[in-house]
Structure 1
Amino acid sequence: MENIAYNSLREKNMQNTALPLEQLENTKLNITEVEDIQRQFAQMSEKKVVRQKLLEWSENQSQSTSSKNKLKAALGFWLLGKFEESLTLLEKDQSELAYYLKGKIAAYQEDRKKEIVILEKGFQKYPHSLHLGKMLAKAYLEQRDIEKGTQLLETLKKLELSEEDILFLEGYLYEIQGDYEKGMEYYHQVLEKDPSHFDSHFRLAIQESLRGDEDKAIYHYKECTKKIPIYFTAWINLGLIYEDRGRYEEAIRCFEEVLRIYPQNLKARMYWEDCQFSLNMVYDEDRKKRTDRRKQILRIPIKEFELSVRARNCLNKMHIRTLGDLIEKTEEELLAYKNFGENSLQEIKDMLSKYNLSLGEGKRQAASPYPRPQSSVKTRNQVPEELLAKSIHELPFSKRAITGMEKLSIYTLGDLLSKSEADLMGVRNFGKVSLDNIKKTLMEMGLSLRKV
């Protein structure tokens, strides 16, 4: 029955997928209609099904010789986050929608200067376009060009820009001028009118995070993750909050969602690697607990076990006092001892099996085919004082590595060389990428972190 119910629900979702695809097929290619289609796609529950159907549809449209169908294909690729494919189809298109899509793509790629150039050209060609106008006003404000942003906002008000868009831009203006409370008040007013206003959710998420209310920040970022094309920065910021909370698997999923669409995103790649390393550290902690438990077991005295008098006496004469001593011996060594027979051997093997131990185990683990390499790096005492006094900001460390070091009060090379890898990894959010950056930089100088 459960499978029938699930299949019925899935079939319903498949049918719902057809609705925005049908609208795309019949769209008149005006931006208001496109934004409505965008919202409908974002609300789809079967995202994987939606993406697959949309990809097939977009590829079919791109084969057409019709400029209208090519623009539809560009729109489809844009919704999927396939920006290069979309830009290729938009290259010679001078329509209002083409400027809108190219401006959106530049914004997603965080190329603000390019975004402004595109939108200025588009708004000059379509001076009554509220969509291009509000995007351009926001771009000006993001670049902190308050004068241009304010002037354009006043122009858009005369063109009867929607109340929620005016509220958002005014809220953003308050925010960038330092009145964060007023800005948040305006964003909440926007959401009362339009609960799916992603930009307001995003600004609120940032402010709530800065105020230390991560639960509210997570709520607003999660709302942003419903957006199609995916809101890269929202996914990354959400992943960073999860990472801060030690929820590494959820953080990894956030970064992977970005990398699935935009594999060249260096931030997502770096944070993903950090989380993978942190997750392994968690597993290492579990392994340490198991190791500590094993050590406790190996310290258990033989006298605490109920053994035959013969077995106990033999072990005592062989100076075997604990389970740790016992697993250092092989079966052959025990049987070679006088009066130690098969019955005593089986008795001991049964005892060890209760603790997942076996005879000879200690010797097997102690054997290592890999000799310890000799260090060729200088010790701290061999480094000149003037080099030890050098600021970490003068050395080619990454910004994130420097931030992590400063949390440990590491300000000079000398401070750094007095720390071990474990000291650095004890800092919150200090991951493998930062550690590798430090180790590589030190290695190039013939130096290394303190050995434990």
Structure 2
Amino acid sequence: MTEATATIDEPAFELFTDENPTFALLQNGRTMVLATAKERANFQSQMKSKADTGEEGRRKGLAAWVLSDYEKCVALLAPHQGDDVADYTRAKALMALGRPGEALPLFKRLSDSYPDVARPRGGALEAQLEAKLIEAPDTDVAALVEEMLKGAPDDFADSAEGRYLQGRRAEFMNDTQSALEHYLAARDLDPTLRGNLFRAAYLADRAGLDSVALECYQMAVQLKIADRPMMLNYGVLLEDHSRDEEAAAIYDMVARLDPTDERARLYLADARSAMDMFYDEDLERKEDKLNQILRIPITDFELSVRARNCLSKMQIHTLGDLVCRTEQELLSYKNFGETSLNEIKEILRTKGLRLGMPREEAVASIEARARRPVGEDSDPRNRSITDLQLSIRARRTVESLGCLTLGDIIKHSADELLGMPNFGNTSLQELRSKLAEHNLKLTGE
């Protein structure tokens, strides 16, 4: 369908002129508004021209939800408490902001007013569950959800909201298959339930069901309900399948929405690098080895108090900070003498580095050390994590734990790793297999 025919065939989204805008209208309109930068800009322009009070303010608050500006949505709709659409939209915005305790009374009022409608009841029960987990993280989710379902009408369990809550219960009980069945059933009943799509995609991802996870993430992006965590997870999964161009597009969307998001910008740079046909993998391995070493904190080494204090005052915190300095620069600093200088030079010598060393020379030196025959005192635990040649997902996880060597990795247990974002059983088995090649195991195995 071309842009021209889409304009003719699809109903226009007229939030500011519609006689009685509903939340369903907002949900459908969001897809249209966020379809292109031009549509978004036009909608924002309309929104800015409206007053913050009265009926215009109410509709402006609804518009803020469409644009995912949840803080503004909550503020503009607060004066309209008692209005069903305003209350439901504000409650959804509060949930998106991670404030379920404030959303609960709004959902509760709507649920009491419409006892036979699943959506407000589902919102109330989810808000109650999330608020309880914030208050008491060790809450028995299975027991709480079971109690919730007993208090709901008989047909609620078969609704999208009911299936979602049953999925949460099954997931808490580590029944992955049952949880996924409930989540996917809820998705088929109502694909706009963002929390459900996220849980389905995340659980499928961890279980190694990549095709299911990709389908759920893609649906969330197409419906314009994917938040930052969902989009980043989606991008990582696309990279795992060598779909780097698609991953870069996802990261670019996140980066454009928030230019200060350093994680998205880093992922975007990685994906773009992988798209380069002339990418030099050998050079990348060398650079990785260098960067791992240059990131080692100075505090990891035994230095005299005087040397440590001087380096700290000079804002030298890592070996990378140190390598770029010359002997003259260090000696020119007050209280930094020959003794401290010799300490520093010895540290660098053990890493094949020296002060004032050009980057190209540092890369070559580290590569040369990596090619040296294994000596009697060599220990696989001292090898760099780059030697494992892990997938992007697994490598990012161990790096986020601060691991630089294989010895750092085996200090962690399987449970710790599985608790990390984007790290599931597939990644765990990969890591175990790679460590086994060096006769190493994770803690507790």
Per the normalisation by structure 1, the TM-score is 0.55
The answer as to whether partners of 1:205 and 1:216 remain within 8 angstroms in 2 is yes
The answer as to whether partners of 2:198 and 2:230 remain within 8 angstroms in 1 is yes
Name which of 95, 103, 107 aligns with 1:107: 95
The answer as to whether partners of 2:107 and 2:124 remain within 8 angstroms in 1 is no
Q: CA deviation at 1:72?
A: 1.0
Q: Which residue of structure 2 aligns with residue 35 of structure 1?
A: 24
Q: Which residue of structure 2 aligns with residue 214 of structure 1?
A: 210
Cα gap change, 1:134/1:37 in structure 2, threshold over 3 Å: closer, same or farther?
same
Q: Which residue of structure 2 aligns with residue 56 of structure 1?
A: 45
Q: Which moved more, 1:142-151 or 1:280-289?
A: 280-289
Deviations, residues 218-254 of structure 1 (Å, cap 9, x unaligned) = 1111011122354333212101212333444432322
Q: CA deviation at 1:36?
A: 4.1
Q: Which residue of structure 1 aligns with residue 75 of structure 2?
A: 88
Q: Which residue of structure 1 aligns with residue 65 of structure 2?
A: 78
Cα gap change, 1:101/1:140 in structure 2, threshold over 3 Å: closer, same or farther?
same
Cα gap change, 1:254/1:159 in structure 2, threshold over 3 Å: closer, same or farther?
same
Name which of 255, 263, 287 aligns with 1:270: 263
Q: Which moved more, 1:180-189 or 1:37-46?
A: 37-46
Q: Which moved more, 1:167-176 or 1:19-28?
A: 19-28
Secondary structure, aligned partner of 2:153? helix
Cα gap change, 1:243/1:415 in structure 2, threshold over 3 Å: closer, same or farther?
farther
Distance 2:158 2:32 in 1: 23
Residue identity (%): 16
Aligned residue identity for 1:123: K
Distance 2:241 2:19 in 1: 44
Q: CA deviation at 1:205?
A: 1.9
Cα gap change, 1:277/1:23 in structure 2, threshold over 3 Å: closer, same or farther?
closer
Cα gap change, 1:377/1:223 in structure 2, threshold over 3 Å: closer, same or farther?
farther
Q: Which residue of structure 1 aligns with residue 184 of structure 2?
A: 188
Q: Which residue of structure 2 aligns with residue 240 of structure 1?
A: 236
Q: Which residue of structure 2 aligns with residue 224 of structure 1?
A: 220
Q: CA deviation at 1:80?
A: 1.1
The answer as to whether partners of 1:13 and 1:44 remain within 8 angstroms in 2 is no
Gaps in structure 1 of 5+ consecutive residues: 1-5, 292-370, 384-413, 440-452
The answer as to whether partners of 2:187 and 2:193 remain within 8 angstroms in 1 is yes
Alignment of 1:25-424 (within 5 A): 25-29=17-21, 33-42=22-31, 46-61=35-50, 63=51, 65-66=53-54, 68-95=55-82, 96-109=84-97, 111=98, 114-120=99-105, 122-124=107-109, 127-129=112-114, 130=117, 131-142=119-130, 143=133, 145-157=141-153, 163-194=159-190, 198-263=194-259, 269-277=262-270, 279-280=272-273, 283=276, 286-287=279-280, 376=344, 378-379=346-347, 418-419=382-383, 423=387
Deviations, residues 392-446 of structure 1 (Å, cap 9, x unaligned) = xxxxxxxxxxxxxxxxxxxxxx98994458548866444699599789xxxxxxx
Secondary structure, aligned partner of 1:286? coil
Cα gap change, 1:158/1:60 in structure 2, threshold over 3 Å: closer, same or farther?
farther
Secondary structure, aligned partner of 2:14? helix
Deviations, residues 280-330 of structure 1 (Å, cap 9, x unaligned) = 477597346899xxxxxxxxxxxxxxxxxxxxxxxxxxxxxxxxxxxxxxx
Larger-Rg structure:
1
Secondary structure, aligned partner of 1:216? helix
Q: CA deviation at 1:48?
A: 3.0
Aligned residue identity for 2:14: E
The answer as to whether partners of 2:247 and 2:271 remain within 8 angstroms in 1 is no
- The size of the alignment, in residue pairs, is 312
Distance 1:435 1:173 in 2: 30
Cα gap change, 1:236/1:277 in structure 2, threshold over 3 Å: closer, same or farther?
closer
Per the normalisation by structure 2, the TM-score is 0.56
CA RMSD of aligned residues (A): 4.5
- Residue 11 (structure 1) aligned with residue 18 (structure 2): no
